A and B are shown apart, each in its own frame.
Chain A
Amino acid sequence: MTQSTTQLMNLPSCPNDAVDVHVIQRIVEEHNQTRGALIAVLEDIQAEYGYLPETALRTVAEATGRSLVDIYGVATFYRSFSLQPRGKSLISVCLGTACHVRGAPMVVEEFERQLGIRVGETTSDMAFSLETVNCLGACALGPIVAVDGHYFSKVDPAKVKSIIRKARLGLSPVEESVA
């Protein structure tokens, strides 16, 4: 509970839940309303809005005939789901063991300083969200930073600025990120 309140307090101005009920219903129908498809439904909603809006979860509950508690439980269980609006770019800093010993915590600090937010928060202009992940599976190239699916390898605090700059300009689909 303490976590959710702190998150609420640090919320950037929330776009007033512009959720189209029909979009949610279409997503549910695409998955044939099967019980096992809940995670897939939530993933599609998150892909659509960048996070899971409250109205969307309520609509899913109605459309699938399941209770909101179940859906909320799944949505809060998995870390990849976010119930708070996230920025345009999602910066994931790997804090797995290999990245950790190679100085990833310093990279996280540098990101926090440069973006003016803490881990788990979103900048007020809704451009960036910062999160840490436990392993991105490329330990030999650590510390790894992933921005919207682009992997930056052997990152040190000095490279943080250029990563943010590149992300602001928009990353090309096949960015050569090994600096």
Chain B
Amino acid sequence: MIELTINGVLVSVEKGATILEAAEFLGFPIPTLCHMEGLSPYGACRLCVVEIGEGPKAKLVSSCTYPAEAGLKVRTASTRVLRTRRMILELLLASCPQSKIIQDLASAHGIRRQRFKQEYEDCILCGRCVRMCEEQMMAKAIGFRGRGEKRSIGTPFDVQSDVCRLCGGCMYVCPACQLRCTYTEPEKAICGGCANLSPPCIEKDPYDDMLCYMSPCVACEITKTEMKIGV
């Protein structure tokens, strides 16, 4: 067993555990997109940054890949950590503004503006699907291709893979593409509807085809009632 301090609380975890696991065991939630139980740690999304060490030697590490060390002092929500996390979220939001998971995280972290160009990608290259395919489905049908800004995930030569069994595991674990967040103003960067619980549609014109994940939705009920009464 290894003893370390997380947010001032002494905790002992098994050898080989990561900071993320230790913090979750202790009840300190750390947001993450690329980490998933059952898949190898990857450290792609950087959302799980925590601050380790003290004073001027304190540094930011990704907690999902950093193994717990004896005597380590970890802060999971210091000002520096939160500032960094907000920056990462803002960047992730710029690449995938349609992801409900990222929109919710952004709302929860108090992101109220978007300074970057919206890219409307469907992928944050977190590699969850790649690891799912390889480690749980034993298929290795998809993988990373290319480099730099041309990096993408897919099958070799963009043709259907011989080893793909169409299990759908890749889509199931995807944090960017599985749920679509379509706010009434798709060109607006930040939705925030679900998180701040003010139904965004209530002051908008009635809309039919938008997907809404609020269930039950107060606004829809009100609109329906109003239509019945004929206001």
Binding site for B on A (CB under 8 A): 1, 3-4, 54, 57, 67-73, 76-79
Contact = CB atoms under 8 A, between A and B. Distances in A.
12 contacts: A3-B146, A54-B157, A67-B163, A68-B156, A70-B143, A72-B145, A72-B156, A72-B157, A73-B145, A77-B147, A78-B147, A79-B147
Contacts of B161: 68-69
Given A69-B155, A71-B156, A78-B147, 10 more contacts: A3-B146, A68-B161, A69-B140, A69-B143, A72-B143, A72-B157, A73-B143, A73-B144, A76-B146, A79-B147
Contact of B158 (A4, A70, A78, A79): A4
A73 B152 CA distance: 10
A1 B153 CA distance: 10
Contacts of B157: 54, 72
A71 B140 CA distance: 12
Interface size class of B (residues with CB under 8 A): 10 to 19
Given A69-B142, A76-B145, A3 B155 contact: no
A112 to B, nearest CB: 21
B150 interface: yes
Interface of B: 140-147, 150, 152, 154-158, 161, 163
The prevalent SS among residues of A at the interface is helix
Contacts of A3: 146, 150
Contact of A1 (B142, B154, B156): B154
Given A67-B140, A69-B140, A69-B142, A76 B147 contact: yes
A1 B123 CA distance: 13
A14 B75 CA distance: 58
A1 B158 contact: yes
B156 A69 contact: yes
A76 B157 CA distance: 10
Most buried by A among B142, B145, B156, B161: B156
A58 to B, nearest CB: 9
- Nearest 8 A/B pairs, CB to CB: A69-B143, A72-B156, A67-B140, A76-B145, A76-B146, A68-B156, A77-B147, A73-B143
Contacts of A69: 140-143, 155-156, 161
